[in-house]
């Protein structure tokens, strides 16, 4: 295709609103434009990348027996009411009414519609298993749509659903998806890690997330450097490294005027923060609760919620009313409200608040000086110890590009998606649900493959394979050679973007680096003088002069040899 006829509105400057690299590059290379917060238009280059990703996804989904369908984006409220999600899901769901004042929503996912369809169409065990998938738009009123196409309010998702007779069948469908996902992300040129995840609002019996490491990610995973075990920090457990044992005598009060925070106390008493104990009061449905953590650890709210139910931090005056002291000097010794201590505190000796202003207690021994319920309530931190093998854990930022869930009968039971087994007994269909965000794949690829000049597309998902560039289209001989090569490449089946614009060479080279097509063929004065064009590899910046007549076969060989990444 000829650049002069395409809509590729590249920008010289970084857009002010874009922080993530992928966001900047997508805007600058003219792939996308934002219509409103979290709502994007895909321009031709962006569309071509999505098409490539979709083709890989379709190929791999078909390979595991997936059947492509298209479900509506507009859903009647009833199916969501039947599963309870109409009321469980809050503002994230776009809701609307039709002219007859009936409730509808814009689909944020399709478990309900699938279960409804299965209820209609699946009769017997002979109809199972099934894998149905679609690449279709989803709507979610995200709290913070940001980072370009990484988190938008309208986005395409490949969602597939497996229908099986029993758990054994589900395990097989799940495994097939896991393998298909491995191939999809590998073929898209992404570095990724598979981690166990928290099934959250989907419910169900197990789930994994596919995570692409990137500082632009909103998720964090903890990975063990020794055994390789990895989990979302939402779920990850660890053993904080044990502190040195202090040689403190028996329990004693120490004056700590004005020292409220862990840092202030540790500095004043000149001790390792790991020897402090922090006490955080929260309000649960059952009343106040104090969470106890080692001073250097952070509270993991979801973990606390799993143990103690929904809660919020206590206000200052609530702490004062319950404990008779301000929060900075709160401690477990002598408190009469329930205590929930992190497992790391089961051993050791600590400094804790004395429940008296400007005072701490030194030599607090959990189990001896206070009694608490123990649970895992800390966030895993880099340097913590792996509970499987004792190796060191590292916490890293990642982009969730896909996930797989074992749903079980969470949706089939309320929507009466049942089948008759071999004995003629009615049973609920056992379901799985599997999502991938193609736009997130594109953005994650940009995050992982770029340099200071722009994008470096993996060949498999690049908008074009070859960027042909005529340095000066006003030079008739040069122009003729460019046209000749363009025709040659096109008839050899190469996807080629031909920069035939009447622009300064500097502008053209800069744009070529910016949009990042894997191979560039340059037709300049050497081509006219000596019959030599140039093939440049975007990733390595290697440039090789190649006789004009050999460009097409050379490019074909490069494309055939390339493994995509």
What is the contact surface with ligand ATP in residues (CB under 6 A)?
109, 140, 142, 151-152, 155, 157, 400-403, 435-437, 439-440
Nearer to ligand ATP, 75 or 508 (CB): 75
Considering the complex, what minimum distance in angstroms separates the CB of residue 23 from ligand ATP? Answer: 12
List beta partners, residue 498: 2, 468
Considering the complex, what minimum distance in angstroms separates the CB of residue 159 from ligand ATP? Answer: 7
Q: Going along 125-205, which residue ranges are E strands?
A: 130-139, 154-164, 193-196
Nearer to ligand ATP, 203 or 295 (CB): 203
- For residues 500 and 114, what is the distance between their CA atoms, to the nearest angstrom? 49
Considering the complex, what minimum distance in angstroms separates the CB of residue 210 from ligand ATP? Answer: 7
Nearer to ligand ATP, 157 or 551 (CB): 157
Considering the complex, what minimum distance in angstroms separates the CB of residue 459 from ligand ATP? Answer: 22
Q: Alpha helix (H) ranges present in 295-371?
A: 301-308, 316-323
Nearer to ligand ATP, 211 or 323 (CB): 211
Tell me whether residue 356 is exposed, middle or buried, using C-beta atoms within 10 angstroms of its C-beta: 0 to 12, 13 to 18, 19 or more.
Answer: middle
Nearer to ligand ATP, 18 or 330 (CB): 18
Pairing of strands 230-232, 350-353: unpaired
Contacts of 381 (CB under 8 A, 6+ apart): 238, 240, 296, 297, 298, 393, 395
Count Cα neighbours of 465 within 13 Å in the Cβ-side half-sphere. 17
Nearer to ligand ATP, 397 or 427 (CB): 397
Fill in the DSSP letter of residue 399.
E
Count Cα neighbours of 316 within 13 Å in the Cβ-side half-sphere. 2
- Backbone φ, ψ for residue 350 (5° rounding): -135, 165
Considering the complex, what minimum distance in angstroms separates the CB of residue 229 from ligand ATP? Answer: 21
Considering the complex, what minimum distance in angstroms separates the CB of residue 106 from ligand ATP? Answer: 13
Pairing of strands 103-106, 95-97: antiparallel
Nearer to ligand ATP, 387 or 395 (CB): 395
Considering the complex, what minimum distance in angstroms separates the CB of residue 217 from ligand ATP? Answer: 9
Contacts of 55 (CB under 8 A, 6+ apart): none
């Amino acid at each position: 295709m000829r650049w002069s006829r395409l809509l590729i509105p590249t920008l010289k400057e970084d857009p002010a609103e874009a922080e993530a690299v992928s966001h900047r590059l997508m805007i600058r290379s003219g792939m996308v434009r934002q219509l409103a917060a979290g709502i994007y238009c895909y321009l031709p280059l962006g569309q071509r990348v999505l098409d490539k990703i979709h083709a890989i996804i379709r190929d791999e989904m078909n390979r595991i027996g997936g059947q492509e369908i298209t479900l509506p984006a507009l859903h009647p409220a009833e199916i969501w009411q039947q599963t309870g999600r109409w009321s469980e899901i809050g503002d994230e769901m776009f809701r609307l009414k039709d002219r007859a004042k009936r409730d509808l929503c814009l689909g944020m996912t399709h478990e309900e519609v699938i279960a409804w369809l299965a209820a209609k169409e699946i009769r017997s065990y002979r109809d199972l298993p099934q894998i149905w998938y679609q690449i279709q738009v989803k709507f979610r009123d995200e709290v913070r749509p940001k980072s370009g196409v990484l988190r938008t309010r309208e986005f395409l998702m490949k969602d597939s659903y497996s229908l099986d007779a029993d758990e054994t069948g589900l395990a097989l469908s799940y495994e097939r998806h896991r393998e298909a996902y491995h191939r999809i992300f590998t073929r898209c040129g992404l570095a990724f890690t598979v981690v166990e995840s928290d099934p959250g609002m989907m419910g169900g019996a197990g789930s994994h997330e596919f995570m692409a490491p990137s500082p632009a990610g909103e998720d964090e995973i903890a990975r063990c450097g020794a055994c390789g075990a990895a989990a979302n920090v939402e779920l990850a457990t660890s053993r904080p490294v044990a502190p040195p044992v202090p040689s403190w005598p028996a329990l004693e009060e120490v004056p700590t005027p004005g020292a409220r925070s862990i840092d202030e106390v540790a500095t004043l008493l000149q001790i390792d923060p790991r020897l402090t104990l922090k006490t955080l009061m929260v309000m649960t449905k059952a009343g106040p609760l104090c969470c106890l953590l080692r001073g250097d650890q952070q509270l993991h709210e979801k973990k606390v919620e799993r143990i103690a139910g929904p809660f919020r931090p206590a206000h200052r005056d609530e702490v004062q009313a319950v404990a008779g002291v301000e929060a900075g000097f709160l401690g477990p010794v002598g408190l009469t409200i329930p205590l929930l201590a992190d497992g790391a505190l089961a051993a050791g000796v600590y400094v804790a608040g004395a429940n008296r202003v400007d005072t701490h207690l030194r030599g607090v021994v959990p189990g001896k000086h206070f009694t608490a319920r123990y649970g895992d309530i800390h966030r895993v931190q880099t340097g913590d110890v792996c509970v499987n093998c004792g190796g060191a854990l590292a916490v890293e930022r990642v982009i969730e590009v896909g996930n797989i869930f074992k749903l079980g009968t969470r949706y089939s039971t309320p929507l009466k998606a049942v089948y008759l087994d071999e004995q003629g007994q009615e049973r609920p269909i056992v379901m799985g649900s599997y999502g991938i965000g193609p736009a997130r794949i594109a953005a994650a690829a940009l995050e992982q493959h770029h340099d200071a000049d722009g994008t470096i597309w993996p060949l498999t998902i690049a908008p074009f394979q070859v960027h042909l560039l005529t340095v000066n289209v006003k030079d008739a001989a040069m122009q003729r050679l460019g046209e000749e090569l363009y025709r040659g490449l096109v008839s050899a089946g190469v996807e080629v973007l031909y920069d035939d614009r009447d622009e300064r060479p500097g502008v053209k080279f800069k744009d070529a680096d910016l949009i990042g097509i894997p191979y560039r063929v340059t037709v300049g004065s050497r081509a006219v003088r000596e019959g030599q064009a140039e093939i440049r590899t975007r990733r390595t910046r290697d440039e090789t002069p190649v006789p004009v007549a050999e460009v097409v076969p050379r490019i074909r060989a490069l494309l055939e040899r390339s493994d995509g990444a």
